[in-house]
Structure 1
């Protein structure tokens, strides 16, 4: 499944922010890798985005559609901004926050809208958590059939081997 930059790609950023909570690396390189132009963060903005990532975490994993929609709606309300059409590169395109928004506010608006995009235009169940015991990495299922249950092929293989070995012992 292919996502546009301002929709599903923003959901992919949300998943990576959630996954960054465990190791707490600097967020600026992560934002830059997802095309966030203004990615230099102050210490306060970095802390703000770590707190935001903890809220984003509630959107990933199996849950009922109504609960997921309520969670994403709460994030949208908290990240409310003034969306704009920008012409900074000569072509009109959509920005989820005003040009003067600080980087943390921009990322909050971007990720909340990205999660809403996936829920509304792809499938709410595409916001998953790895099924391997002890992993739990958040991911956005971009597979064609939307049935991904592991964060990576490695986790899927490790889980399959563990299940195979447990059957051999039993």
Structure 2
């Protein structure tokens, strides 16, 4: 499944932030933010602390829950971003930006991840946000598969779980 930049990419950024090791540090965050196209990927310490609290809130979006509850969690995130979407033409094509033009990097990450999760829930389905089904793993993921039935964060976890089930069955 293909998402637009703010839907899929921002939701995948949210999943990567949730999956990042704790405690978050500027050195840990920089490659994650850069990989997802965040222009100002180097953050001061106070912004890292702010994003740590934000990541804890993002984590709830990937947990198994009823649609209404997931929407309430994401609506809370959207409300707390206090951003005002606007149309930008900086690259010649009109597209939406979800953080104010002068916003700091942490505010930008908060706004874009909240909007990305909302986009996925509204246009692809709330069940596209999930946690790995393998017992030894709890990684968050965005299901971009064609049929929307992914249950593992990676092929490796799916294979490891299948091998474990097979071995348990043949004991």
Q: Shorter-chain TM-score: which interval?
A: over 0.9
Deviating beyond 4 angstroms after TM superposition, the runs of 4 or more aligned structure 1 residues are none
Give the corresponding residue for 2:109.
107
User: TM-score, normalized by length of structure 2?
Assistant: 0.94
By how many angstroms is 1:149 displaced? 0.4
1:136 to 1:36, Cα distance in 2 relative to 1, 3 A: same
By how many angstroms is 1:38 displaced? 2.0
Aligned-pair Cα RMSD in Å: 1.2
Give the corresponding residue for 1:19.
19
Give the corresponding residue for 1:163.
165
By how many angstroms is 1:92 displaced? 1.8
Aligned equivalents of 1:5 and 1:80: distance in 2? 21
Contact 1:21 1:53 in 2 (8 A): no
Contact 1:21 1:54 in 2 (8 A): no
CA deviation vs aligned residue, 1:35-84 (integer Å, no higher than 9, x gap): 11122210111111111011000000321101101111111111121212
Paired positions, count: 169
Q: Which blocks of at least 5 consecutive residues in structure 2 are unaligned?
A: none
User: TM-score, normalized by length of structure 1?
Assistant: 0.95
In the alignment, structure 1 residue 126 sits paired with structure 2 residue 128: yes
